[in-house]
């Protein structure tokens, strides 16, 4: 975001907050998230946090501090007159002069009471105010620094259904696009003994052979780094029983590989937003979106990432849920006898190129995932 925004300037920010009475009120008046102004208030070192208090957002939206008025006596008199009296009748009910009644009515109008008064007749309207006000979203809400990355997952190298040719093509495209960061959702290799009959599905039948193969065929491009988590095919079955981790082994050999952990990892983006890389367990569901939506629903309120990337299911899809951009990451493994017998359906073969805008309040304000598919025999 450029430095021309008014809340990046300490003089302008303080002036706006003083004008509106609080950070919350200033944020509402200018169509901003209050946390954005709070962050810049602290970053600019504007001193005490007194302006963080004051009216809350709901009061700020009302445009006035709707606190208990000093003219409660006048409201009581109007209530006794069933909200419709003359000025003289109100003066008699409150035992004050008509002039004081008129002054009190003006004060009530200023703080938002629906008082309709002429020379003599006074009405207090208690029904909700009709409003046709239109609020225009400001373009600045969608400003932010561009961050580009790619997503691959479930490469299953060592499987008879591996697609190292497609993987090499994907990295050629990624490098050509100028993208330097790739996130991998797990299952780098196919493993052994993860399910019955898997020995008939693999090309390479030892741990060492699969590690050597992954190190050899996984694409290398100058400046492109792959951040990867381990999946169930990497960490379970015969490899897991032996205490071996093929992803760690490949990362130890490759400076362009960064191993983030087993099954799950949180990645912090430059503005503080988080990506959750996850390789869950279990099979798919009747609806493609069901599993990722249930994962997002499981997050506690303050624990939600900005983006969830889900491996394991070999499906593709984009599901914005509870403010979390959610991607099913796809695969680079073709159909196997196992997947056919399990009726897993058509896999999502391919990879993502992602453009997003990172706002300075720690959110992703624009998100554009582009899935690049491969097709059988293509």
Looking at the chain, the domain(s) classified CATH 1.10.10.10 span: 68-143
Number of residues that this document lists for the chain? 378
CB 192 within 8 A of CB 198: yes
CB 314 within 8 A of CB 344: yes
Rounded Cα–Cα distance for residues 364 and 149 (Å): 14
DSSP three-state, residue 24? helix
Give the position of tokens 């009644």: 101
Predicted local confidence at residue 59, as pLDDT: 41
Nearest to 316 by CA among 265, 375, 365, 275: 375
- The three-state (H, E, C) secondary structure of 51-71, written as one string: HHCCCCHHHHHHCCCCCCCCC
CB 251 within 8 A of CB 283: no
CA distances (Å), origin 343, targets 9, 201, 291, 335, 339: 59, 16, 17, 10, 6
The answer as to CATH 1.20.1250.20 being correct for domain 68-143 is no
Digitized pLDDT (tens) for each residue of the chain, 378 residues in all: 344 578 888 888 888 888 877 877 787 777 677 777 887 888 788 865 555 554 444 444 433 333 444 688 888 888 888 889 998 898 888 888 888 888 888 888 888 788 888 878 898 887 776 666 666 778 888 889 999 999 999 999 999 999 999 999 999 999 999 999 999 999 999 999 999 889 999 999 999 999 999 999 999 999 999 999 999 999 999 999 999 999 999 999 999 999 999 999 999 999 999 999 999 987 766 678 888 899 999 998 778 999 999 999 999 999 998 899 999 999 999 877 766 555 455 568 899 999 999 998 889 999 999 999 987 555
Rounded Cα–Cα distance for residues 182 and 256 (Å): 10
Rounded Cα–Cα distance for residues 150 and 174 (Å): 7
Residue 193 is classified by DSSP as S
Looking at the chain, the domain(s) classified CATH 3.60.21.10 span: 144-373
Predicted local confidence at residue 318, as pLDDT: 95
CA distances (Å), origin 284, targets 34, 184, 190, 338, 345: 40, 19, 19, 14, 10
CA distances (Å), origin 121, targets 78, 85, 105, 354, 375: 12, 6, 12, 65, 79
Sheet with strand 115-117: strands edge to edge: 84-86, 121-124, 115-117
Predicted local confidence at residue 306, as pLDDT: 95
Rounded Cα–Cα distance for residues 234 and 81 (Å): 79
First to last CA, the chain: 42
Strand bridging mode 121-124 / 115-117:
antiparallel
| H helix and E strand count, the chain | 14, 14
258-223-208 Cα angle (round to 5): 45
- pTM for the structure as a whole: 0.67
CB count in 10 Å sphere of residue 113:
19
Predicted local confidence at residue 66, as pLDDT: 39
CB 51 within 8 A of CB 23: yes
Rounded Cα–Cα distance for residues 120 and 133 (Å): 31
Predicted local confidence at residue 316, as pLDDT: 93
Q: Which CATH superfamily is domain 144-373 in?
A: Metallo-dependent phosphatases (3.60.21.10)
Give the position of tokens 């706002």: 359
Query: H or E element: which one contains 290?
Result: helix 290-297
Predicted local confidence at residue 132, as pLDDT: 65
Predicted local confidence at residue 231, as pLDDT: 97
Cβ-defined contacts of 10-13 (< 8 Å, 24+): 10/44, 10/45, 10/46, 13/37, 13/40, 13/41, 13/44, 13/46
Predicted local confidence at residue 181, as pLDDT: 98
Predicted local confidence at residue 341, as pLDDT: 56
């Amino acid at each position: 975001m450029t430095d021309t925004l008014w809340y990046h300037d300490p003089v302008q920010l303080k002036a706006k907050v003083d004008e509106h009475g609080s950070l919350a009120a200033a944020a509402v008046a200018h169509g901003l998230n209050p946390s954005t102004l709070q962050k810049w208030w602290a970053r600019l070192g504007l001193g005490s946090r007194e302006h963080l208090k004051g009216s809350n957002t709901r009061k700020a939206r009302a445009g006035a501090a709707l606190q208990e008025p000093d003219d409660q006596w006048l409201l009581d008199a109007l209530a006794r007159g069933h909200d419709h009296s003359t000025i003289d009748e109100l003066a008699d009910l409150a035992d004050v002069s008509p002039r004081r009644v008129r002054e009190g009515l003006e004060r009530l109008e200023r703080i938002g009471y629906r008082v309709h008064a002429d020379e003599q007749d006074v009405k207090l309207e208690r029904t909700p105010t009709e409003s046709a006000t239109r609020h225009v979203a400001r373009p600045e809400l969608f400003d932010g620094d561009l961050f580009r990355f790619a997503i691959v997952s479930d490469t299953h190298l060592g499987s008879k259904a591996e697609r190292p040719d497609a993987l090499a093509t994907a990295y050629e495209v990624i490098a050509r696009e100028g993208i330097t960061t790739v996130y991998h959702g797990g299952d780098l290799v196919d493993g052994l003994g993860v399910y019955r009959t898997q020995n008939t599905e693999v090309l390479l039948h030892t741990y060492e052979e699969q590690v050597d193969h992954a190190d050899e065929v996984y694409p290398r491009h100058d400046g492109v780094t792959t951040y990867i988590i381990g999946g169930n095919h990497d960490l379970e079955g015969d490899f897991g029983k032996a205490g071996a981790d093929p992803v760690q082994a490949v990362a130890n050999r490759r400076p362009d590989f960064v191993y983030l952990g087993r099954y799950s990892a949180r990645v912090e983006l430059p503005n503080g937003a988080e990506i959750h890389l996850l390789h869950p367990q279990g099979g798919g569901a009747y609806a493609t979106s069901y599993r990722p939506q249930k994962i997002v629903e499981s997050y506690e309120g303050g624990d939600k990432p900005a983006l969830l990337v889900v491996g394991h299911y070999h499906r593709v899809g984009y599901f914005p849920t509870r403010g979390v951009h959610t991607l099913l990451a796809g695969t680079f493994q073709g159909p196997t006898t196992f997947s056919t017998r399990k009726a897993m359906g058509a896999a999502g073969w391919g990879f993502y190129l992602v453009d997003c805008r990172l706002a300075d309040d720690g959110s992703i304000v624009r998100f554009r995932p582009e899935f690049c598919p491969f097709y059988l025999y293509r």
